[in-house]
Structure 1
Amino acid sequence: MSACGAEPGLISIDQALSLIQQRTQVLGVEIIDLNSALHRYLAENVYSNINLPMFSQSAVDGYAIHADDVIQADATFALIGEIRAGQSAEFELKHGQAVRIFTGAQIPNGTTTVARQEIVKTLENQTIQISETLKSHADIRDIGEEISVGQCLAEKGQQLTVGAIAALSMAGIQQIQVFQYPKVAVVITGDEVAETVEDFASGKIFDANAPLIQAWFKQRNQTVDIFHVADTEQAVKTLLADLSQNYQLILTTGGVSVGDYDFIRPVALDLGFEQIFWKVKQKPGKPMFFAELQKTDQTSCYLLGLPGNPAAVYVGMQIYTSTLLDAFQGQASSLQWFSAELSHDLKADARERFLRMSVQFDQAKLKVQSLAKQQSHMLSNLMQANCLVRIPAGDKIEAGQIVQGIFI
């Protein structure tokens, strides 16, 4: 008998990720409001239709002045009015004149410089005096100095962050074209899921997987539909047959191993799903299943079957579901691996492992520390974990060795 993790047919983590990227059809595009686009990927370049600033404006609260070149200290100017932000400057300054102006307000024609209010004294007879030498063109924001008409603001494939949305909003962009999110059904299998405390009397347990997955998608600004199904072949078959016609992704937890009540894989194959891979040489989450159903309308429904243990589900979401969602949107995986020094020894294992760890800077080095309670049915250490670290298979890993991880 083969050792656990060494049986034939297992593929590597990298092979599994590559197959997800290669086999997943890119979805179409849609136009949505910018304020709903957090985490979405752009399906086209975005160009500016305006200059930014749209007009030359004051960078400070102060006074717009018309003068020749450098203004010497103690120079005086006639104050002829005031311009607040949002008001248009409908007059022209002449030599020796000044106007009170506020940050962001349009500077009037004829302005050669702006004097910040801290260096200005107000005299009698609507006269101001500059207390310091002032260069020409001080504190003026020129039209188009940040963005000009026709400038590319964001490129196709770029993921929209909070900062990107703010920058596009300032440029007047209100709608954008993005790659579609898949419609996702989440199937929680198992008769053991408790709905009330009283259910514990019959040996049931509370479900962590549905809240975990729902919160994970919510963090990505996406909603999913949750379904629970009993551990019977007919119940699984009826549900998967229906979901496969209405969703682009079916994400399941449990029922993908070789137990007597593990019906996800055999039912999916019976319904016409083509197996892309089953079982990955990793820990936790070895019996992961990925399959595709090609439908008569030339579209596909994909099934990603994760093991039932919640730690395996968590790893599957962070590593594989993330990669799959990116592939739907025509993107390479968004997994951002960091390198860090392992602060302690780790025993050898036949499979690559994803361990929940704590990462922090120590004397200018990024270091990771493993946490207790790493078993696949345990989640409590996620209260302290801030990264998943990928530990190579084979030999013992020694303290000081460099390992790869992702922040969570």
Structure 2
Amino acid sequence: MNQVVMHTGCGAEAGLISVDDALALITVRTQRLGTEQLPLQQALGRYLAQDVHSKINLPLFAQSAVDGYAISAIAEIDAGAEFALIGEIRAGQTANVALKNGQAVRIFTGAPIPDGTTTVARQEIVNVAEQKIVLTSPLKLHADTRDAGEEISVGQILAAKGQKLSVGAIAALSMAGISHCEVYAYPKIAVVITGDEVAENIDDYSAGKIFDANAPLIAVWFQSQLAHVEIMHVTDDKNAVLNLFAHLKDQYDVILTTGGVSVGDYDFVRPVALDLGFKQIFWKVKQKPGKPMLFAEYKREDASSCYLLGLPGNPAAVYVGMQIYTDTLLKALQGQTEPLSWFSGVITHDLKADARERFLRMSVQFEQGAVQLTSLAKQQSHMLSNLMQANGLVRIPAGQSIQAGNLLHGLLIQQ
């Protein structure tokens, strides 16, 4: 049984909300964007804004499933049966012949089956002799034929509103003759990296600065979402942050920031946002890493909104914020309100308790019939090197010591 441990200190102060409450607030308080019509081949990764119905049958017409011979017979056919060969139909041609009992035509895969056809004989069981064919094996009626509409019928729903368009979905819709679709608009996003400490080169690094992991992390995360964002840097200067936010709030659907969101002397993101009219939805989440996270909304005169998601500056906190909160926000803007899909797995070792819920980077493996979780070293919020091995982000409940064999929940993460 898990032991409940009481804590004081960091993570136990009043005013923090839970991870689940923060996610629920993002989902409930986010106004979805409008829709747009896109060519299907440009809609990969987007969410459908309405059901898509088929306007055709699939297959469009009865057709052969093999290269062989379309045959007309009144009963099942025995080996040795002969049929008069009266023509040929290739894929793309019109079947302008009607078969009578005892007749056959050469036919190819996908070619329309002529009227009067009762079955198709694959070429491997046929011998051809002058103007006739002879079957070498018995054959049942309706063999190797594809009936019109057997996969999809006219009016059938091909894809439902809210479905994400994958490669397979786009292929399936294309086969049904769909060329355009109505999808939710993708948000226009400004990414603001705050701070004076970013090094431009090794000399800067040795002078007390650090290399920036956050901008590349965020850039490639959005690339993995097939999306483009504007990334900009701003110094830890209140006027600089104010001027930038004043411009962005009217131009973008989302301002995503890293750093400057806590209570330090140079943390200006929250006070500047509030001064500009953003309404705080929550600030500080009972989690580790990423406690001082901010979510706020600016309501414009046209009733549209700009959302501010302020992530802490430590790169591990940014990574967690992207995988969990940014993903939830982007989906909510596109009409998706389903909770994140957490997998379940068994931890292979003990973990000490912490006052805050933790997100640990882990190795997730399927072994001995179960999903097994193993925590990786170097979990501090300024460290990212274990992402070379991690493929899971696992939730560790607050105030509980964890024993090997306990069931935990997590997200599979991109390598």
The TM-score, its normalising length taken from structure 2, stands at: 0.96
1:23 aligned partner = 29
Query: Do the aligned partners of 1:25 and 1:300 also contact (CA within 8 Å) in 2?
Result: yes
> Secondary structure at 2:187's aligned position in 1?
coil
Does 2:332 match 1:327? yes
Query: Do the aligned partners of 2:36 and 2:183 also contact (CA within 8 Å) in 1?
Result: yes
Tell me the distance in 2 between the aligned counterparts of 1:308 and 1:386: 22
2:75 aligned partner = 69
> Secondary structure at 1:198's aligned position in 2?
helix
User: Alpha carbons of 1:334 and 1:105: their partners in 2 closer, same or farther (altered >3 Å)?
Assistant: farther
2:44 aligned partner = 38
Does 2:265 match 1:273? no
> Secondary structure at 1:194's aligned position in 2?
coil
Tell me the distance in 2 between the aligned counterparts of 1:195 and 1:237: 24
Query: Do the aligned partners of 1:326 and 1:334 also contact (CA within 8 Å) in 2?
Result: no
Does 2:79 match 1:79? no
Q: Deviations over 1:291-313 (max 9, x none)?
A: 11111111111100001111100
Q: Which amino acid aligns with 1:261?
A: Y
Deviation of the 1:69 alpha carbon: 1.6
Q: Which amino acid aligns with 2:312?
A: P
2:309 aligned partner = 304
Does 2:261 match 1:261? no
Residue among 334, 337, 342 paired with 1:337: 342
Q: Which amino acid aligns with 1:19?
A: L
Kindly report which structure 2 residues correspond to 1:8-407, keeping only aligned pairs within 5 A, or say none.
Answer: 8-123=14-129, 125-333=130-338, 335-407=340-412
> Which stretch of structure 1 is more off in the superposition, 1-10 or 13-22?
1-10
CA RMSD of aligned residues (A): 1.2
Percent identity of equivalent pairs: 69
Q: Which amino acid aligns with 2:308?
A: L
Q: Which amino acid aligns with 2:197?
A: E
Deviation of the 1:286 alpha carbon: 0.3
Tell me the distance in 2 between the aligned counterparts of 1:105 and 1:194: 65
The TM-score, its normalising length taken from structure 1, stands at: 0.97
Q: Which amino acid aligns with 2:9?
A: A
Q: Gaps (5+ residues) in structure 1?
A: none
Deviation of the 1:334 alpha carbon: 5.2
> Secondary structure at 1:291's aligned position in 2?
strand
Q: Gaps (5+ residues) in structure 2?
A: 1-6
Query: Do the aligned partners of 1:311 and 1:375 also contact (CA within 8 Å) in 2?
Result: yes
Q: Count matched residues.
A: 407
> Which stretch of structure 1 is more off in the superposition, 54-63 or 192-201?
192-201
Deviation of the 1:219 alpha carbon: 1.4
Q: Deviations over 1:10-57 (max 9, x none)?
A: 111011011111111111111111111122111111100111000100
Query: Do the aligned partners of 1:322 and 1:334 also contact (CA within 8 Å) in 2?
Result: no
Deviation of the 1:92 alpha carbon: 1.4
Tell me the distance in 1 between the aligned counterparts of 2:211 and 2:114: 68
Query: Do the aligned partners of 1:322 and 1:333 also contact (CA within 8 Å) in 2?
Result: no
Which runs of structure 1 show a deviation greater than 6 angstroms over 4 or more consecutive aligned residues? none
Q: Which amino acid aligns with 1:10?
A: L
Query: Do the aligned partners of 2:69 and 2:107 also contact (CA within 8 Å) in 1?
Result: yes
